[in-house]
Amino acid sequence: MRTLNLGILAHVDAGKTSLTERLLHAAGVIDEIGSVDDGSTQTDSLTLERQRGITIKSAVVSFVVDGVTVNLIDTPGHPDFIAEVERVLNVLDGAVLVISAVEGVQAQTRVLMRTLRRLRIPTLIFVNKIDRRGAHDERVLRAVSERLSPAIVPMGAAYGLGARGAGFTPFGEADDTFTAGLAEVLADHDDALMAAYLDDGTPLPYRRLRDGLAAQTGRALVHPVYFGSAITGAGVDALITGITELLPASERDTEGAVSGTVFKIERGTAGEKIAYVRMVSGTVRTRDKLLFGRHGAGGAAAEGKVTAISVFDQGAAVSRSSVEAGRIGLLRGLGDIRIGDTIGDAMAAVDAADPPGSSTAQDPSGQRHFAPPTLETVVVPRSPADKGALHEALAQLVEQDPLINLRQDAIRQEISVSLYGEVQKEVIQATLANDFGVHVTFRETTTICVERPAGSGEALEIMGKDPNPFLATIGLRVEPAPHGSGVEFRREIELGSLPLAFLKAIEETVKQTLLQGIHGWQVIDCAVTLTRSGYAPRQSHAHAVFDKSMSSTGGDFRSLTPLVLMAALKQAGTMVYEPMHRFRLELPADVYGSALPVLARLRAVPRTPSTHGSSYLLEGEIPAAQVHELEQRLPTLTRGEGVLESAFDHYQQVTGPLPSRPRTDHDPLNRKEYLLRVVRRVAG
């Protein structure tokens, strides 16, 4: 049977979860449609989700329609939980992007569509809520074409907009306007069809147009658009036809080598890890021993024994003895597994072909489709006795969402977490209280900046020469790299001149050390080159065992690398950059004059405004640190009529005094203190 891993994505409150319920009902999986407001839906199973009426965690359900097994993944719509969407994108065959017919294209809609197009994920668009007062069709289509993609194909017409009886009539072969428009859109990506369209006076065969639509939709070149209502069911049958006919469901190789990707981790009732795995090929059975790990993450692949398997079948997950290619399985027994891990026989081949110490190794979990969190806050337990329990609870939350990025300051006894927004902070607070019994408060939320090298710098420490107390020679050069390149580790030393374990120790320590630059922020877009190395070979006294005081160890290289790297970085210098959001602000024309000074005080830089009837539309840039304040002031400033959209756009160099962040490591910028902490003595 063919399978399709389908994501449902949308801006918050566009109706994703309601559409999921309607699809399950249409497929015969559920007899009664649940309500988001009542907390009775299949996919919003968390207590917090039911209380708040929003999706916080991605959830999987499965159904069969027209011979296709659809693994449907309902994702969060609120931008604070974009990390959940991030992980799901890596396992999708296709997507349905849901847009409200009332609110139209919103900030998160644009962020999602840009990403879907960039990743070339085949996408259908479903304009929901046509039965709601204020619903529009032509206005939404125009906004979709202008702000999402011009390559859209309306698949039918909505009628009765804004009323309970609103419906959707699919276009067909007899609709000349539809077929002509379809031919025109498809011809842009098909030269043969373009020639036939231009040279032949007769209409193109409808079957050829439908085949062309399926092919181009499958290549993410065009995006069919459907209208309907998840609540009444209008247009949903047409959407289901589009899902099965236009999105690329396929047969999977169940007999091939085992391969899969972990995109979600949760804990069972007994505290055991449960890994959500999208199976790419092969079959995993209970009691199989599996290799798993992250290519490039350091260390060899781990191995574990699968103790239990669940597979999504006709709705919920059910116990099975195996899970095969194309399905999504829940695997138990793999205690050290993490989000982003690759499982199966492929890991052994990957490690053999490209050792972890290699500079070409890639980490699948490191693929970033959306911006990283730009906010940070310190989590404080209300009871000092809960410090240990808080750390353990947060560590489990980081398993489920690595971008929370737990940061512990041992000196100040503080724990910080990264955030996308205030709602996420509230959810973390409620989760800690409800699931772990730990009650916390938060310090003021601050902005996470980054550092980039300002120039080039080099440093060298030679074994046996003061002030180097370590049995290692390391020379490093630091220089800027292209924006978006992260941290690149290079080698100028001769291959084989340094044991692989030592080389790996240097590379891993370089990347760990650059999490805190000169001013305490993570260093990005940086190339680090190993220019010189040396070590003391394994040796011992006569008739004695190995003596590490005479022989280099990995610890020597791990301890020396931060000193050399930070000396080189200090010579290069760094510039601090703050995150900037692009914003789109609609406000009444009569408050435009009073809004400009407020925007100026918040360091926003608006472009030339445009008028839309009695409203002004302002677009521009604003520091991420000021977005929350603008959101709070907007209702008063615009009499509740202002509409603000904002999303991370880029980092901008800070002018004036540079913000800094306290270090949480042994501070290799202070050599004396560093050596006192690392080797308990000061050399030289």
User: Within 169-301, where are the H helices?
Assistant: 176-187, 191-199, 206-218, 236-246
Whole-number Å distance between alpha carbons of 218 and 222: 8
266 and 379 part of one domain: no
197 and 71 part of one domain: yes
Number of domains within the chain: 5
Confidence check: pLDDT of 544 > 70? no
Contact 673, 666 (CB under 8 A): yes
* Average confidence (pLDDT) over 522-533: 96
Q: Write the DSSP symbol of residue 79.
A: G
pLDDT at residue number 353 = 35
The full 3-state SS of 14-66, as one line of letters, equals: CCHHHHHHHHHHHCCCCCCCCCCCCCCCCCCCCHHHHHHCCCCCCEEEEEEEC
Whole-number Å distance between alpha carbons of 396 and 386: 15
Whole-number Å distance between alpha carbons of 59 and 44: 7
- Closest among 65, 116, 101 to 240, alpha carbons compared: 65
Q: What is the pLDDT of residues 21-56, one digit of tens each?
A: 899 888 888 877 766 555 556 555 555 555 656 566
* Average confidence (pLDDT) over 412-439: 87
Whole-number Å distance between alpha carbons of 374 and 420: 6
Confidence bin at 369 (pLDDT 50/70/90): low
Of residues 301 and 671, which shows the higher confidence score?
A: 671
Q: What is the pLDDT of residues 612-642, one digit of tens each?
A: 777 888 999 999 889 888 988 988 998 888 8
pLDDT at residue number 550 = 74
Q: What is the pLDDT of residues 261-282, one digit of tens each?
A: 898 888 888 888 999 999 989 9
Whole-number Å distance between alpha carbons of 36 and 56: 13
Instruction: Identify whether 218 is part of a domain.
Output: yes
Cα dihedral sign, 501-505-336-364: negative
Instruction: Identify whether 430 is part of a domain.
Output: yes
What is the length of the chain?
684
Contact 342, 277 (CB under 8 A): no
CATH of the domain at 430: 3.30.70.870
Contact 200, 227 (CB under 8 A): no
126 and 141 part of one domain: yes
Whole-number Å distance between alpha carbons of 593 and 598: 10
One-letter amino acid identity for 586? Answer: E
The full 3-state SS of 402-442, as one line of letters, equals: HHHCCEEECCCCEEEEEECCHHHHHHHHHHHHHHHCCCEEE
649 and 558 part of one domain: no
Whole-number Å distance between alpha carbons of 12 and 140: 17
Confidence check: pLDDT of 560 > 80? yes
Confidence bin at 350 (pLDDT 50/70/90): very low
Which residue reads 């849901």 in tokens? 98
82 and 188 part of one domain: yes
- Domain termination residue (choose one: 201, 216, 246): 246
Counting residues of the chain whose pLDDT is more than 90, the rounded percentage is 48
Of residues 196 and 54, which shows the higher confidence score?
A: 196
Q: What is the pLDDT of residues 125-183, one digit of tens each?
A: 999 999 999 999 999 999 999 889 999 999 999 999 999 999 999 999 999 899 989 98
Confidence bin at 363 (pLDDT 50/70/90): very low
Which residue reads 């020679």 in tokens? 473
Confidence bin at 649 (pLDDT 50/70/90): confident
* Average confidence (pLDDT) over 182-209: 81
Instruction: Identify whether 427 is part of a domain.
Output: yes
pLDDT at residue number 584 = 87
603 and 506 part of one domain: no
Confidence check: pLDDT of 87 > 60? yes
559 and 600 part of one domain: no
- Closest among 438, 421, 528 to 474, alpha carbons compared: 528
Confidence check: pLDDT of 365 > 50? no
Residues 6+ apart with CB under 8 A from 182: 153, 209, 213
Q: What is the mean pLDDT of the chain?
A: 85
- Domain termination residue (choose one: 387, 419, 448): 448
Confidence bin at 540 (pLDDT 50/70/90): low
Half-sphere exposure of 104 (CA within 13 A, CB side): 17
425 and 290 part of one domain: no
Confidence bin at 361 (pLDDT 50/70/90): very low
Confidence check: pLDDT of 541 > 80? no
pLDDT at residue number 253 = 84
Whole-number Å distance between alpha carbons of 203 and 254: 43
6-10, 422-426, 429-433: least confident range: 422-426
475 and 426 part of one domain: no
Confidence check: pLDDT of 643 > 70? yes
Which residue reads 């009529």 in tokens? 641
Of residues 542 and 647, which shows the higher confidence score?
A: 647
Residues 6+ apart with CB under 8 A from 655: none
Between the alpha carbon of residue 180 and those of residues 23, 175, 176, 204, 209, the distances in Å are 31, 9, 6, 9, 10
Instruction: Identify whether 658 is part of a domain.
Output: no
- Domain termination residue (choose one: 366, 386, 414): 366
Residues 6+ apart with CB under 8 A from 358: none
Contact 108, 81 (CB under 8 A): no
Residues 6+ apart with CB under 8 A from 193: 183, 186, 187, 204, 208, 212
Confidence check: pLDDT of 312 > 70? yes
Of residues 17 and 107, which shows the higher confidence score?
A: 17
Counting residues of the chain whose pLDDT is more than 70, the rounded percentage is 88
Degrees (nearest 5) of the Cα angle 431, 432, 434? 60
Between the alpha carbon of residue 38 and those of residues 34, 112, 161, the distances in Å are 8, 27, 26
Instruction: Identify whether 684 is part of a domain.
Output: no
443 and 456 part of one domain: no
Which residue reads 């699968």 in tokens? 306
CATH of the domain at 325: 2.40.30.10
- Closest among 293, 258, 297 to 278, alpha carbons compared: 258
Confidence check: pLDDT of 404 > 90? no
pLDDT at residue number 539 = 64
* Average confidence (pLDDT) over 585-591: 89
pLDDT at residue number 524 = 94
Of residues 564 and 250, which shows the higher confidence score?
A: 564
Whole-number Å distance between alpha carbons of 307 and 146: 51
Contact 85, 76 (CB under 8 A): yes
Whole-number Å distance between alpha carbons of 443 and 414: 11
Whole-number Å distance between alpha carbons of 449 and 653: 10
CATH of the domain at 635: 3.30.70.240
Confidence check: pLDDT of 684 > 80? no
User: Radius of gyration of the chain from Cα atoms?
Assistant: 28
CATH of the domain at 668: 3.30.230.10
Torsion of CA 347, 348, 351, 353, to 10 degrees: -110
Would you tell me the crossing angle of helices 206-218 and 236-246 to the nearest 10 degrees?
80
98 and 154 part of one domain: yes
One-letter amino acid identity for 610? Answer: S
- Closest among 213, 218, 170 to 2, alpha carbons compared: 218
Instruction: Identify whether 462 is part of a domain.
Output: yes
- Closest among 309, 303, 268, 255 to 286, alpha carbons compared: 309
Between the alpha carbon of residue 93 and those of residues 124, 249, 391, 678, the distances in Å are 12, 7, 37, 49
240 and 281 part of one domain: no
Element (H, E) at 455: none
pLDDT at residue number 565 = 98
- Domain range for 305: 259-366
Whole-number Å distance between alpha carbons of 459 and 563: 9
One-letter amino acid identity for 667? Answer: D
Instruction: Identify whether 32 is part of a domain.
Output: yes
* Average confidence (pLDDT) over 403-432: 84
Strands 322-324 and 259-267 turn out to be: unpaired
Confidence check: pLDDT of 682 > 50? no
The answer to whether the pTM exceeds 0.75 is no
Instruction: Identify whether 84 is part of a domain.
Output: yes
Whole-number Å distance between alpha carbons of 468 and 456: 23
